[in-house]
């Protein structure tokens, strides 16, 4: 049995004896040069992985004559340095090279990087090659992460509850820190390092200022010390009103001398304890959080004040663009762009603006956020949500790399065709020096970290895309399945297909054809398109679907909110014209009559109903696929996934039935043939 704790670092024994022999032949002696903490954890991981996978404990160490040599550039011997010169020139500080040479007729592999951290990433990559049963005979891998800051955002509170967390309580045990170091912290760091995540924001964006007090900073330091060898920096969410709450000041006005001084001192205090502290994440003037606007100042004033405090120490500010208020109720989707784009070019160099993937809020499908591409003089970092607030939380199996990939490949057209979102995120579109990506974590203290083991794939996949936003979701699914479960083709192929289809399934049974934000309010679990009585209009699902007897959908074209105008002209034109608007986004951008003819000839009402049904059918087929996987999966994980799929199927029907019954009051049409009657 297997409780899933080991994530994708299972290091399953290589049953195929031919392949195992091949690996052993190339690995009978191993040498690690250097003695930093990073070298220690990397060599420990390598030995753990190899001994488990090969069933071999004793590897010889023949120093430079070893068959596998792991050494960062500074430690390489003269001969290898010369041989690897051009490869080393190609990588950045976190990159690595894996290269096989034939030396005197014998196979020799070198794992190297410019730094020990880079070499460590190379070790994890090497282990992944074995985990996924690839040949290591002729390696020539040269890789660097394409994005600099690759962080997880934990929405964890100091009382260990997790905002939008569905896998138990926070893994940060503030009570036992700093002296008790839970093994989980180390395993968490290993998992992150294995996919290249190099930062963690420990606390919720709706922050408690207490985290910045010495009492908590000691605990933060203890975590930073655990994470450091793994190349992971610690960041904190800074509550904008902290100077008032913990600093005895009367104001948090970013232009006030005392406030500036308070943040300078606080920042210095943090760096004394944590010399490589990453910086601050800030949610300001959003959903009731304090911010510079409380004092008649703006985002630039707020962000730059913190940026100045951090600059001496090379820290950064991640300033969130997720803002919306009750004052602008015509279209919430427009607010972030309107508020931020005019400030382009005014932020300090160590500020990056963190933008959610879409303009509303982590829906099963959203068009890309119009801010991407629109601020050429400001680095924008992508914020994805790994925790599935609006996608069935931790019960529904939804493979998110498919969603992430879709957004990253959307074309902003700001510099002509090919100006895809990924290029704004990795800096290549406008030549940004500072680049970043954030994923809102789905991790809690459940034994298997993510509640549903299948959702470990979303943590993994986020990390892989943060390293390389051009990876395909198919490659990611393949790697993850092999490392987590089995290399058996009869398992990998069908389950890969199941994962890759799962995202479209959730779109179909929750919000087909561009519907959005019709989840029950507050917790956002399950359907609630009928809700209309909440105090703020933009909290009510009816605000988003606008169903009436004439039709359904949010008119964001010229005749409506004109949100389309926030995109480059090519994109605005495509989305703005009902004939060219992709049908996935139809009701996002248009209010459409129930009789409107879709591309497949169905009228809109029938099309919506058929999509809901399709979603249910897709979950049925996921369930069917999984049934056949029993021979390849341990009982525990097999059963757990199975139970979750049962819930998902029940709830897909719940979504279909309740949404169709609700919308039917307006369409006044029968369900088309092929759609099951409500159960
Ligand atoms: C969503 C979510 C909140 C969260 C917010 C944010 O609105 O429901 O819980 O605080 O996003 O990203 O700040």
Whether 485 contacts 134, CB under 8 Å: no
Residue 103 pLDDT more than 80?
A: no
Sheet with 68-70: strands ordered across: 30-32, 68-70, 106-112, 96-103, 140-143
CA of 458 to the centre of ligand 1 (A): 19
Residue-level pLDDT at 375: 98
Place 300 in a pLDDT band, splitting at 50, 70 and 90: very high
Q: How large a percentage of the chain has pLDDT more than 90?
A: 96
Residue of 157, 162, 332, 361 to mutate, ligand 1, most atoms within 8 A of C-beta: 361
CATH number, domain with residue 604: 3.90.1330.10
Compute how many other C-beta atoms are within 10 angstroms of the C-beta atom of residue 25. 12
Residue-level pLDDT at 537: 84
Residue-level pLDDT at 625: 98
Among 21-25, 40-44, 200-204, 624-628, the minimum mean pLDDT is found in 21-25
CA of 522 to the centre of ligand 1 (A): 10
Q: What is the mean pLDDT of the chain?
A: 97
Residue-level pLDDT at 328: 67
Q: Is 475 a catalytic residue?
A: no
Q: Which of 286, 289, 284 is nearest to 299 (CA)?
A: 284
Domain end among 111, 143, 175: 143
What integer is the mean pLDDT of 225-252? 98
Residue 294: inside a domain? yes
Whether 230 contacts 182, CB under 8 Å: no
Residue 574: inside a domain? no
323: which 2 tokens? 């803002």
CA of 164 to the centre of ligand 1 (A): 8
Place 238 in a pLDDT band, splitting at 50, 70 and 90: very high
**Are 28 and 161 found together in one domain?**
no
The verdict on whether omega for the bond into residue 178 sits within 30 degrees of 0, i.e. cis, is yes
Residue 60 pLDDT more than 90?
A: yes
Place 670 in a pLDDT band, splitting at 50, 70 and 90: very high
Residue of 284, 321, 322 to mutate, ligand 1, most atoms within 8 A of C-beta: 322
Residue 105 pLDDT more than 90?
A: no
Q: Which of 200, 273, 257 is nearest to 231 (CA)?
A: 200
* Residue among 143, 361, 405, 478 flagged as catalytic: 361
Residue 326 pLDDT more than 80?
A: no
Tell the residue nearest (CA) to atom 13 of ligand 1: 205
**Nearest ligand 1 atom to alpha carbon 164:** 9
Q: Is 287 a catalytic residue?
A: yes
What integer is the mean pLDDT of 430-449? 98
**Are 329 and 419 found together in one domain?**
yes
Tell the residue nearest (CA) to atom 2 of ligand 1: 164
Output the CA torsion sign for 48, 69, 14, 645. Answer: positive
Whether 513 contacts 587, CB under 8 Å: yes
CA of 168 to the centre of ligand 1 (A): 18
CA of 16 to the centre of ligand 1 (A): 48
Tell the residue nearest (CA) to atom 1 of ligand 1: 361
**Are 293 and 436 found together in one domain?**
yes
What integer is the mean pLDDT of 323-331? 79
**Are 73 and 174 found together in one domain?**
no
Residue 398: inside a domain? yes
What integer is the mean pLDDT of 47-68? 95
Complex-level ipTM beyond the 0.95 threshold = yes
**Are 513 and 461 found together in one domain?**
no
Sequence-distant (≥ 6) Cβ neighbours of residue 277 within 8 angstroms: 224, 233, 234, 235, 236, 270, 271, 313, 315
DSSP β-bridge partners for residue 234:
200
Whether 155 contacts 162, CB under 8 Å: yes
Query: Tens digits of per-residue pLDDT, 540-583?
Result: 999 999 999 999 999 999 999 999 999 999 999 999 999 999 99
Query: Tens digits of per-residue pLDDT, 87-97?
Result: 999 999 999 99
**Nearest ligand 1 atom to alpha carbon 383:** 12
CA of 424 to the centre of ligand 1 (A): 24
What integer is the mean pLDDT of 235-242? 98
**Are 232 and 377 found together in one domain?**
yes
Residue 491: inside a domain? no
Q: How many whole angstroms separate alpha carbon 464 and alpha carbon 485?
A: 18
Residue-level pLDDT at 679: 79
Residue 479 pLDDT more than 70?
A: yes
CA of 203 to the centre of ligand 1 (A): 13
Q: Is 15 a catalytic residue?
A: no
Residue 348 pLDDT more than 80?
A: yes
**Nearest ligand 1 atom to alpha carbon 204:** 10
Residue 673: inside a domain? no
Query: Tens digits of per-residue pLDDT, 608-666?
Result: 999 999 999 999 999 999 999 999 999 999 999 999 999 999 999 999 999 999 999 99
Residue 562: inside a domain? no
Place of tokens 């049908």: 583
Q: How many whole angstroms separate alpha carbon 384 and alpha carbon 397?
A: 17
Residue of 205, 441, 525 to mutate, ligand 1, most atoms within 8 A of C-beta: 205
**Are 465 and 514 found together in one domain?**
no
**Are 539 and 513 found together in one domain?**
yes
Q: How many whole angstroms separate alpha carbon 157 and alpha carbon 570?
A: 43
**Nearest ligand 1 atom to alpha carbon 286:** 13
Q: How large a percentage of the chain has pLDDT more than 70?
A: 100
Q: How many whole angstroms separate alpha carbon 578 and alpha carbon 218?
A: 57
Residue 469 pLDDT more than 90?
A: yes
Residue-level pLDDT at 317: 99
Residue 498: inside a domain? no
Tell the residue nearest (CA) to atom 7 of ligand 1: 361
Give how many domains the chain has, as a whole number.
3
Write the CA distances from 441 to 176, 188, 221, 393, 474, integer angstroms: 22, 12, 21, 12, 22
Tell the residue nearest (CA) to atom 10 of ligand 1: 206
DSSP β-bridge partners for residue 236:
280
CATH number, domain with residue 390: 3.20.20.80
CA of 206 to the centre of ligand 1 (A): 8
Q: How many whole angstroms separate alpha carbon 651 and alpha carbon 656?
A: 8
**Nearest ligand 1 atom to alpha carbon 389:** 8
Write the CA distances from 401 to 215, 395, 457, 471, 615, integer angstroms: 38, 17, 8, 10, 19
**Are 279 and 418 found together in one domain?**
yes
Residue 406 pLDDT more than 70?
A: yes
Whether 202 contacts 174, CB under 8 Å: no
Residue-level pLDDT at 534: 87
Domain end among 85, 114, 143: 143
**Nearest ligand 1 atom to alpha carbon 385:** 12
Domain end among 424, 453, 474: 474
**What domain range is 98 assigned to?**
17-143
**Are 164 and 126 found together in one domain?**
no
Place 425 in a pLDDT band, splitting at 50, 70 and 90: very high
Q: How many whole angstroms separate alpha carbon 666 and alpha carbon 541?
A: 15
Residue 383: inside a domain? yes
Tell the residue nearest (CA) to atom 12 of ligand 1: 322
Residue 593 pLDDT more than 70?
A: yes
β-pairing, 68-70 with 30-32? Answer: parallel
224: which 2 tokens? 């930073």
Place 140 in a pLDDT band, splitting at 50, 70 and 90: very high
Q: Which of 452, 586, 531, 557 is nearest to 167 (CA)?
A: 452
* Residue among 79, 90, 268, 287 flagged as catalytic: 287
**Are 57 and 202 found together in one domain?**
no
Query: Tens digits of per-residue pLDDT, 528-549?
Result: 999 998 888 888 999 999 999 9
Sequence-distant (≥ 6) Cβ neighbours of residue 475 within 8 angstroms: none
CA of 636 to the centre of ligand 1 (A): 33
Query: Tens digits of per-residue pLDDT, 178-209?
Result: 999 999 999 999 999 999 999 999 999 999 99
Place of tokens 């985290």: 211
User: What is the 3-class SS of 369-383, one letter each residue?
Assistant: CCCCCCCCCCCEEEE
Pocket around ligand 1 at a 6 A CB cut-off: 163-164, 205-206, 283, 322, 361, 389
CA of 224 to the centre of ligand 1 (A): 26
Residue of 155, 206, 240, 287 to mutate, ligand 1, most atoms within 8 A of C-beta: 287
**Are 126 and 175 found together in one domain?**
no
56: which 2 tokens? 């071999």
* Residue among 366, 389, 538, 640 flagged as catalytic: 389
**Nearest ligand 1 atom to alpha carbon 206:** 10
């Amino acid at each position: 049995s297997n409780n899933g704790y080991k994530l994708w670092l299972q290091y399953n024994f290589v049953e195929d004896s031919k392949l195992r022999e091949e690996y052993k032949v190339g690995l009978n002696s191993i040498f690690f040069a250097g003695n930093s903490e990073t070298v220690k954890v990397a060599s420990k991981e390598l030995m753990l992985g190899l001994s488990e996978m090969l069933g071999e404990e004793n590897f010889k160490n023949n120093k430079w004559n070893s068959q596998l040599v792991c050494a960062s550039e500074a430690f390489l011997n003269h001969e290898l340095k010369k041989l690897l010169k051009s490869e080393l020139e190609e990588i950045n500080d976190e990159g690595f090279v894996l290269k096989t040479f034939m030396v005197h007729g014998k196979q020799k592999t070198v794992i190297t990087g410019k730094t020990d951290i880079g070499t460590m990433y190379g070790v994890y990559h090497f282990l992944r090659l074995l985990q996924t049963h690839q040949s290591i005979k002729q390696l020539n891998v040269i890789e660097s992460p394409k994005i600099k800051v690759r962080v997880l955002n934990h929405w964890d509170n100091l009382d260990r509850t997790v905002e939008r967390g569905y896998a138990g309580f926070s893994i940060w045990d503030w009570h036992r820190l700093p002296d008790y170091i839970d093994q989980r912290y180390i395993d968490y760091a290993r998992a992150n390092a294995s996919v290249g995540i190099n930062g963690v924001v420990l606390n919720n964006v709706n922050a408690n200022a207490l985290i910045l007090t010495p009492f908590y900073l000691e605990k933060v330091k203890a975590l930073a010390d655990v994470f450091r060898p793994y190349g992971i920096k610690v960041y904190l969410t800074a509550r904008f009103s902290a100077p008032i709450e913990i600093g005895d000041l009367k104001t948090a006005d970013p232009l006030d001398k005392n406030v500036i001084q308070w943040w300078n001192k606080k920042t210095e205090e943090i760096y004394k304890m944590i010399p490589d502290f990453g910086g601050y994440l800030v949610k300001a003037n959003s959903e009731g959080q304090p911010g510079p606007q409380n004092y008649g100042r703006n985002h630039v004033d707020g962000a730059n004040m913190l940026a100045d405090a951090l600059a001496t120490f090379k820290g950064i500010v991640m300033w969130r663009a997720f803002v919306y208020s009750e004052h602008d109720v015509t279209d919430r989707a427009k607010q972030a762009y309107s508020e931020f784009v005019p400030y382009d070019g005014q932020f300090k160099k160590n500020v990056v603006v963190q933008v959610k993937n879409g303009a509303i809020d982590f829906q099963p499908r959203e068009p890309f956020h119009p801010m991407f591409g629109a601020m050429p003089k400001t680095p924008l970092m992508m914020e994805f949500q790994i925790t599935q607030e609006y996608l069935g939380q931790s019960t529904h199996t939804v493979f998110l790399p498919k969603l992430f990939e879709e957004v990253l490949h959307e074309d902003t057209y700001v510099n002509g065709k090919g100006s895809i979102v990924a290029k704004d995120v990795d800096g290549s579109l406008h030549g940004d020096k500072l680049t970043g990506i954030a994923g809102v974590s789905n991790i809690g203290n459940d034994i298997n970290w993510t509640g549903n083991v299948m959702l470990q794939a979303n943590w993994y996949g986020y990390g892989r895309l943060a390293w390389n936003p051009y990876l395909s979701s198919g490659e990611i699914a393949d790697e993850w399945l092999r490392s987590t479960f089995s290399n058996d083709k009869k398992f990998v192929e069908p389950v890969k297909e199941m994962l890759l289809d799962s995202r479209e399934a959730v779109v179909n049974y929750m919000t087909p054809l561009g519907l959005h934000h019709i989840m029950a309010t507050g917790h956002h679990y399950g359907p609630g398109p009928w809700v209309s009585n909440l105090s703020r209009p933009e909290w009510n699902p009816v605000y988003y679907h606008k169903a009436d007897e004439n039709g359904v959908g949010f008119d964001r074209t010229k005749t409506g909110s004109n949100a389309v105008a926030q995109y480059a002209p090519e994109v605005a034109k495509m989305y703005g014209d009902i004939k060219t608007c992709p049908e996935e986004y139809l009701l996002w951008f248009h209010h459409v009559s129930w009789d409107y003819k879709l591309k497949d000839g169905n009228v809109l009402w029938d099309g919506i109903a058929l999509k809901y049904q399709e979603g249910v059918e897709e979950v049925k087929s996921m369930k069917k696929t999984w049934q056949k996987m029993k021979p390849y999966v341990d009982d525990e994980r097999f059963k757990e996934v199975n139970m979750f799929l049962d819930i998902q199927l029940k709830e897909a029907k719940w979504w279909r039935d309740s949404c169709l019954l609700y919308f039917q009051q307006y369409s006044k049409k029968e369900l088309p043939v092929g759609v099951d009657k409500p159960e």
